[in-house]
Amino acid sequence: MPVRSKNNFLIFGSPRIEQDEIDEVVASMEAGWLGTGPKVAKFESDFATYLGSGHAAACNSCTAALHLGLVALGLKPGDEVITTPLTFCASVNAIIHAGCTPVLADVDPVSMNIDPESIRAKITKRTKAILPVHFAGRACDMDAIMSIATEHDLKVVEDCAHAIETTYKGQHVGTFGNFGCFSFYVTKNVCTGEGGMVMANSEEDIKHVKILGLHGMSADAWKRFSDDGYKHYQVVEAGFKYNMMDIQAAIGIHQLKRVEEYHVRRRHVWDMYMDAFKALPIGLPAPEEPDTRHALHLFTILIDPDSCGVERDEFLIRMTHENIGVGVHYLSIPEQPYYRERFGWTLEDTPHAVRLGRQTVSLPLSAKLTDQDVLDVIQAVKKSLAIS
């Protein structure tokens, strides 16, 4: 008998949606304002208020946000951007689509975040930017990264897809670099279905991002030629169609109000896992670094076949047979054929990321989980390790 029945499959990353979101979406539809409007403006200002500094531009995904941030840096073909191999493909694809060359630095095996020493080792004359990812919600070593950036005159675009609640020395991540990019994809800590946000310290930069994200159209550019009547727009560069809809913002406004409440709930789930797993032969997340706050986006365990007696992929199959949804974040980037073929990356270049990618399993960590759901996951983990 599996731990859960098939019709009660525990979906990985299922979002917690409440009545306020539903009512707000319905109100948008009844008002007939579906596209970018007042709710997007409110979501941007609420988000900037939550982070405590910076200017916000909403868009339709974090992938779009990363692309916009990188394009807005004005990098040229052949410019190199250093990022981590333990990330979602979108981080690397955004670099490629901005016309630049991605370069991988290895991760620290304990924090699983990009290792500043490895960044240093990858800097060349062509390096122009660093794209750190606050993996699982754990803050990267921003003092080290920002001082490398200053020393070598590099830009920084932070991938904060996991890191809405993350702080480093009291400051929210996503406000250190030139741009911080957030995701509101269904599985993320605040969700709008699809959605993203670019944060910038400079108001000029965020204006530029907003123009780039909407076809390159500027209303301001025309203003000086017109009185207060009809305003033409001017296309000032070749932009993209990346704007967020009010229907998405309608969800986000209410999700954001509960971001701290949900964090408390995930802390409880996290502590239940840590307590239940401390005597098992699996790898567990390292404690938070001092003076940082973890967003608790992913709870990742490591299945080393030598100590666990089961291969990671077999473990994934067993968990699924127990009707528990699991994730892999991530098979390292050099495992993906496209990048290997295009950039000639080998698995030996970034050994820590490759090993972690082959051992990691993400367990459900949604604020929607009940205590019983968590107990089911724990039981399924023990069963899949043949301990219980």
Ligand X SMILES: *Cc1c(COP(=O)(O)O)cnc(C)c1O
Binding residues (CB under 6 A) for ligand X: these are 61-63, 87-88, 90-91, 133, 159, 161-162, 183, 185, 196
Is the Cβ of residue 83 or residue 218 nearer to ligand X in the bound state? 83
Distance CA 186, CA 87 (A): 18
List all residues 6 or more positions away from 238 whose beta carbon is below 8 Å from its beta carbon: 216
- State how beta strands 179-183 and 196-200 pair: antiparallel
Is the Cβ of residue 156 or residue 378 nearer to ligand X in the bound state? 156
Closest approach, Cβ 225 to ligand X, in A, equals: 37
Closest approach, Cβ 242 to ligand X, in A, equals: 10
Whether 188 sits among the annotated catalytic residues: the reply is yes
Q: Are 361 and 331 in contact (CB under 8 A)?
A: no
In a 13 Å sphere around the CA of 39, the CA atoms on its Cβ side amount to: 26
Is the Cβ of residue 129 or residue 385 nearer to ligand X in the bound state? 129
β-bridge partners, 293: 167
Is the Cβ of residue 91 or residue 360 nearer to ligand X in the bound state? 91
Is the Cβ of residue 13 or residue 385 nearer to ligand X in the bound state? 13
Is the Cβ of residue 179 or residue 185 nearer to ligand X in the bound state? 185
Closest approach, Cβ 121 to ligand X, in A, equals: 23
Q: Which amino acid is at 77?
A: P
Closest approach, Cβ 185 to ligand X, in A, equals: 4
Is the Cβ of residue 199 or residue 385 nearer to ligand X in the bound state? 199
Is the Cβ of residue 3 or residue 104 nearer to ligand X in the bound state? 104
Distance CA 104, CA 120 (A): 11
Q: Are 165 and 117 in contact (CB under 8 A)?
A: no
Closest approach, Cβ 330 to ligand X, in A, equals: 8
Could you give the C-alpha distances from 79 to 99, 102, 130, 187, in angstroms and in order?
Answer: 8, 9, 11, 33
Closest approach, Cβ 60 to ligand X, in A, equals: 8
Closest approach, Cβ 88 to ligand X, in A, equals: 4
**Catalytic residue selected from 125, 188, 207, 383:** 188
Closest approach, Cβ 90 to ligand X, in A, equals: 4
What the block records as the tokens of 334 is 């050099």
Q: Which residues are catalytic?
A: 188
